[in-house]
Every structure is written in structure tokens, then in C-alpha cells.
Amino acid sequence: MDHIQNNAHFTMKELPPSEKPYEKCLEYGPGMLSDAELLAVVLRTGSRGQSAVEMCRSVLASFREESLCGLYGMSADELMQFRGIGKVKAVQLECIAELSRRIARSRAVKAGREIFRNPEQIADYYMEDFRHESQEKLLLIMLDTKGHLIADEIISVGTVDRTVASPRDIFLKALSHRAVTIVLLHNHPSGNPEPSEADLQLTKRVRECGEMIGIPLVDHIIIGDRRSVSFACERLL
């Protein structure tokens, strides 16, 4: 912005009309704001030589997806590596990411009650927590007779491309929580949710154990990048 000196400390009031997200939001609605503008509304001020909007554009541009999704999994220390981001702004950005997770979860359940009626609902509920992970994590979801979530627990954490799990560990947890049915869910860091041969073998072993113990495995869901695969829907159980 050539008309503003490089050593200025910008506030929203000092920006030209085209760069004022508050005014733009009031006139056109928040849906017309870019990702950078939305962040700038929260962060309020920029740093020396850049406006809040410019600072947010720079942060977003550094992410692989160049979008708000890059905020997921970023620690305050990592965020503070960006020019103009101090402790306060880093915490604000962390809170934005956490709020989006909670909103996504709250929309995935009915009236705040965690009742899972179909694979899509389960995938939606856990999508934002799992699709940004750099390692595979296997989650055990334990349900009662009506599909209420009793508890969920991470069973294992693997390398970038695999996880190691034991049916024994899975059913010890399920029995301790008095689960009636269980669902397995894990992520593929590659973003591709298509099941591997190892995924198929694990599912088979857990399904067979569940039939013997009396706690059936009703689904295994793989989370990718905004995509998921349900073994039940694909008839892979």
C-alpha cells in the first residue's frame, strides 16, 4: 500500500475503505469477506509496515492449502513465527480454530446429544479433529443400544502411513465402558480415505472378535481430506 508509510502501525480506522473488513461486513454481510478479512476482524491490528488484512494474507499464503485449514494443528509457538503474530494474536488464532471444531461438532449432533444414526454423521463429527493429523490415529467409538456415544478413546498412534492396533486392546476398552456396539475410525494423512489391505485385515479381525464377545463392530470409517469411507456403506464388513 504505497500511500501508507512502511513504518506505520496500522489500525482498522487508518485503512482505505476497500480494506476495512468491519465496514464491508456491515454493508455486504460476513459471507462477502475473504478468509484474511475475517481473521483481520478478530486480530484488529497489523504490525509495522503491514495492515491486519495484509498480515493475515501473508499467514494464510504460507499454508499448503492457502486457507483457514492451515490453522488446525498449529501451536501458539508455531504461529508466533509469523511476522506480526505475538502471544495475543497466536492465542486468538488458536481459539478461532478450536471454535470451528466445536461448531462442526455441534452441527453434527441433534440438540447437543451425541446420537450417531449413520456413518455420515460420525464422519462429520470427527472430521475436523482427524483430517489435519500428520500421523494415523485409531479411535474406538463406543455406543449404547440407542446409538448414544458412551465414550471414545484413541487406541493407537502410528507412523505417517500406518497404525498398530490389537483387538484385545479394543475390546478391553469396550468392555470397561459397557459398550453395546463399537465403531472404529482412523485417518489417512495422505488425504485419500480408500482402505488399505492392512485396514481390511484389521477390520476383519475386530469384526470376528466382536461376534464372539457379543460387541459387534458396526462400522469402520476412514477419514481423508474432506472425504471419508464407511466400511458398512461399502459392504466391506
Share of the chain above pLDDT 70, in %: 84
Report yes or no: 63 and 70 within 8 Å, Cβ to Cβ. yes
Residue 1: its pLDDT value, please? Answer: 37
Point out which residues pair with 222 in neighbouring strands.
Answer: 186, 229
Helices 119-130 and 87-108 pack at an angle, to 10 degrees, of 170
112-230 CATH pick, 3.40.140.10, 3.10.20.30, 3.40.50.300, 3.90.1150.10: 3.40.140.10
Domain segments of the chain as ranges: 12-105, 112-230
Residue 72: its pLDDT value, please? Answer: 72
| Structure confidence by residue, pLDDT tens digits, 162-180 | 677 889 999 999 999 999 9
Residue 6: its pLDDT value, please? Answer: 40
Mean pLDDT for 125-145 is: 89
The grid coordinates of residue 174 equal 469396550
Mean pLDDT for 114-131 is: 85
Tell me which of 110 and 57 has the higher pLDDT: 57
The grid coordinates of residue 219 equal 462400522
CA distances (Å), 197 to each of 22, 29, 40, 57, 109, in order? 52, 48, 45, 41, 32
Sign of CA dihedral 187, 191, 195, 198: negative
Residue 153: its pLDDT value, please? Answer: 93
Mean pLDDT for 4-15 is: 48
pTM value surpassing 0.75: no
Kindly tell me if the per-residue pLDDT of 226 is higher than 70.
yes
